[in-house]
Chain A
Amino acid sequence: MVQSYVNNRILNYTKNIHAGAENINNGNTLARVRVDDTFLSAELEMEVKLPELKIVSIRGRILRSFAEECKNNAEILQRAVGMRVGAGITRLVKGTIGGSDGCNVFADMILEGCNAVIMGFTVDELHTQLGAPTDEGYEQALKDMLENNPRVASCIAFTEGNDLRKRLGV
């Protein structure tokens, strides 16, 4: 009975994803993604040229997989060279890298890398906007962000008429 209880609590499946982006010496950005789950382990590196946000080089490999054939699919990644990290990238990557002639794991990893690049810019922006040392400064920064940002209705913080907007008089 005790053994049965322990078996039930052992996780059926685990997945860990790590994505990062950083500046490199030539002025471009390098994104790195690593995925490890119960069935698969894979890694990917892609260089994004700034300010065009174009993928200029990419490489990756599947280190462990349930079906051995998956390890031979790395050349699929080269289809991403020239793609621009911006609007429409999700559909483009899923259609070009994923699908019946592609690899959905690599497609998801590329999108994770693109997100890391975009979030890298967001972090810089947030440091500037929300890094105010006083409460008054922070409130003013929030107000500026809501007033000047075009992302209306993109999430709960940017919803028209929410408590924050009312309180700040936006």
Chain B
Amino acid sequence: MFEFTRSKSIGVEKREEGMFLVHGFLDDNVYTIELDLEVKTPEYTIAGAKGYMKRYTTPECPKAPSILDDTVGLEIGGADFETKIKKLVGRGGCRHLADLFIECCNAVFPAALQAEWKNASSSGMSKDDFIRNMLNNEPKLRDRCKTYSRDSEGVKRLGVTW
């Protein structure tokens, strides 16, 4: 019987100004892996990473998280970030741990955005105004996808150009 299921769960908290803590959990038919990540802002660099292999296939697998020390100081994001992590954490340790690591890193920017949106909405800012500000102030978001492309109806409606 061919059957496989995998769940990944990520949570991000802003414990103090300038530091996000990310907790990741991966569970599937073969592996259970946990990861705790500290990300320093505004640099968005890895300040600490601890992993735990709870269920695995070989006696070597529990040694994989030791490679995470080498990620400290890396800046998250960027074109080659995923490739770098797949090589460093995946090939050097465990590719499923690398998968969870990338997922945790990808959660930091939305968490920062959520913190900004929470402040903006509580002071009465509309979603349209927030998106307009975001596109004006964060060039990285422009043309990131169809919704935020210069030709999209939504972007035209907001009157943002670049």
Contacts and interface: CB of A to CB of B under 8 A. Distances in A.
Interface of A: 8-23, 29, 37-39, 66-70, 73, 76, 98-104, 112, 115-117, 119-124, 126, 130, 142, 153-157, 159, 162-164
Contacts of B64: 155-156
Contacts of A100: 143-146, 149
B6 A119 contact: yes
Does more than half of chain B's interface fall in helix, strand or loop, or is it mixed? Answer: mixed
Contacts of B61: 156-157
A116 B111 CA distance: 27
Interface size class of B (residues with CB under 8 A): 35 or more
Contacts, number: 159
Nearest to B86: A90
Given A16-B7, A123-B29, A130-B57, A69 B1 contact: no
B147 A67 contact: yes
B47 interface: no
Contact of A102 (B93, B94, B146): B146
Contacts of B152: 69
Interface of B: 1-16, 20, 28-30, 57-61, 63-64, 67, 90-95, 99, 103, 107, 110-115, 118, 127, 131, 143-149, 152-154
A71 to B, nearest CB: 10
A153 B10 contact: no
Contacts of A69: 146-147, 152-154
A23 B112 CA distance: 40
Contacts of B118: 12
B4 A20 contact: yes
